[in-house]
Amino acid sequence: MYTFAHISDVHLGPLPRLTVRELASKRITGFINWHRNRRKHLLVNTLDLLLSDIRTKQPDHLMITGDLVNLATSIEIRLAGEWLRSIGDPLETTVVPGNHDAYVPGAHDRSVREWYPFIAADNDPNDWSDEEHIFPTYRRRGPIAIIGCSTSNATLPFSASGLFSSRQARETVNLLRRAGEEGLFRVVMIHHPPIRGAAASHKRMLGIRRFNAAISTGGAELVLHGHTHLNTLYHLKTQAGSVPVVGIASASQGPGGHKPPAAYNFFTLSGQAGSWNLACDRYGLTQEADAIAHEQRRVLYGTPAPLPAQPPLELEL
């Protein structure tokens, strides 16, 4: 049996003090949005409570599908790197960037450089060698292959779209085929939902058709994404069947907003190629914001073992 947890849209706060130069860009719109909306609902203690609950279940791997920061300032990116190093070993945690991690030109490269040990493909050095094409990445962990894709790129103000390029599609197909030949359970991580209509037009993923073609051609068992701050389950129809596409709420979202409170998905995998068993259990913040409770179980493949009984983790005040 192999287990892995999925969180997304961490949006580490609070915002640092910004200079006039930093605000003289798209960041000014994000700065205003943070103070008017996000800071009221994105809470650090919510994230801490979520991570504490994940630790009690001791997953073999943690997957984070982007938006670790808010405005991608240098200090935010550095602090996010420190946060990553505090929550786990790079061998046991995989990250792909989101649109907020590439908020302005140059931010994507700074984010990748700082977080590289948590991004790098197997057998890559632990420092970024300025190679332009980092993604897709390939990490083998037990019975699974983690293929990390990136839709992270700087956009104009009032836009949060992502791009999945033709080059990345071709290389993703090759990695998926490689993993399939090795009999691995293939998990694709990406920030934007690769589903038409899942996000508003100004927040959509450009290249959905080529992503779907890559999954259909190369083969995959599971796609994980973030971006929408919603708990969702879609399916991609491929040549080999239907592939679950799972989204999750923001890991820092408190109660009372128009998006669901913070949650994480916990996956339990058993079996082998051709006869996989996979359960997805969602755990989320209670309305009282003082505990994490089990919310839902979905069986995505086969007939996994029953959910073990466990009381909710309560916040120590």
pLDDT for 18 equals 53
Which is more confident, 303 or 54?
54
Band the pLDDT of 43: cuts 50, 70, 90.
Answer: low
In the predicted structure, residue 311 carries a pLDDT above the cut 60: no
pLDDT: which is higher, 47 or 156 = 47
Q: How confident is the model at residue 105 (pLDDT cuts 50, 70, 90)?
A: confident
DSSP 127-146: S----S---SEEEEETTEEE
The answer to whether the CB of 246 falls within 8 A of the CB of 221 is no
Q: pLDDT tens digits for 257-282? A: 889 999 999 999 999 998 999 999 99
**Average of pLDDT values for 131-153?**
91
pLDDT at residue 159 is higher than 80: no
In eight-state DSSP terms, residue 252 is T
In this structure, of 26-40, 99-113, 132-146, 236-250, the range with the lowest mean pLDDT score is 26-40
Confidence class of residue 38 from pLDDT cuts 50, 70 and 90?
Answer: low
Residue 314 φ/ψ, nearest 5 degrees: -100, 150
CATH number of 2-314: 3.60.21.10
| Residue 164: partners with Cβ closer than 8 Å, 6 or more residues away | 149, 151, 190, 192, 194, 205, 206, 207, 208, 210, 211
Q: For residue 124, what pLDDT band results from cuts at 50, 70 and 90? A: confident
Residue 31: pLDDT above 50? no
The whole-chain average pLDDT of the chain stands at 87
**Can you name the residues that pair with 87 across neighbouring β-strands?**
none
pLDDT at 32 over 50: no
All residues at 6 or more sequence positions from 125 whose CB lies less than 8 Å from its CB, including other chains: none
Quote the pTM value: 0.87
Task: State both tokens at 170.
Answer: 């071709």
What's the pLDDT score for residue 305? 65
Residue 207: how many other CB atoms lie within 10 Å: 21
Which token pair is 69?
A: 């920061």
| Prior bond of 143 cis (ω within 30°) | no
**Cα–Cα distance for residue pair 248/243, rounded to 1 Å:** 17
Once rounded to an integer, what is the mean pLDDT over residues 215-231?
97
CA distances from 113 to 13, 36, 76, 213 (A): 21, 31, 13, 30
pLDDT at residue 39 greater than cutoff 70 = no
pLDDT of 62 higher than 90 = yes
